[in-house]
Amino acid sequence: MNKIVLSLSLFLLLGTAVQAQKYFTRQGKVSFFSETPVENIEAHNGKATSVVDAESGKMEFAILIKAFQFEKALMQEHFNENYMESSTYPKATFKGQFDNWGSVDLTKDGTYPVDVSGDMTIHGVTQPVKAEGEIVVEGGKVKGHSTFNLTVANYDIEIPSVVRENIAKTVRVDVDVDYQPLDRG
C-alpha cells in the first residue's frame, strides 16, 4: 500500500511543470457522513495525497479507500468488501482546478473563497464535480477546506435492498488539507 501511495505521489509531483511552485500534502483529511433515520455512518481518512500548482491552480487528489476508518469494524468491512470493492478499486482520485485561482494570493494572509471543478473517479466511475471551498493563507502556511455532496448511485455503488434504508443516497464529504511548499532545490 505504501508503495502505491509513494508511486502515486511521485507521479503527481513529477508529472507537472518543473518551474512552477507546487504545494503538496500526504496527510490530507477526507471524511464522509451518511445520515438516515435508521443510522448515521461516518468515516475518516487522514492519508489523502494532494498537489496544487500555484501558477495554474490545477490540483490532484488521491485517496486509498481502505484507509477510511469507521467507528464499527463491521461497517468498515462491509464498506470495503461489499460496497466499494476496494480490492478491485483501491483508490479514489480527483483531477481538476480552482476556477477562480486568480483571486488567491498565496503571499498574503487571508481567507479566499474558491470554486473547484474537475473529475472525480470512485469505484471505477468518473463524474464531473463542482464544489465550493476556501484557501486560508496564514503566516506563509496554506490550508484548504471544502464540503460537498456526492450521490452514491452516480458511482455505480450498489447498496443491497436489505440495508438500503441505512445508507443515505447522498453523502456529505469534508476535505481539509495543510499544504507544504514543494522544494525544487
pLDDT digits (tens, 9 = 90+) for 151-167: 999 999 887 777 777 78
Question: 159 with 167: CB under 8 angstroms?
Answer: yes
Question: 98 with 57: CB under 8 angstroms?
Answer: yes
The model carries a pTM of 0.84
Residue-level pLDDT at 20: 54
Homologous superfamily of 2-13+24-182 in CATH?
Answer: Lipid/polyisoprenoid-binding, YceI-like (2.40.128.110)
The three-point CA angle 113-141-182 to 5° equals: 105
Residue-level pLDDT at 159: 79
Q: Tens of pLDDT along 14-48?
A: 443 334 599 999 999 999 999 888 888 999 999 99
Distances (CA, A) of 50 to 23, 40, 121, 165: 8, 28, 15, 34
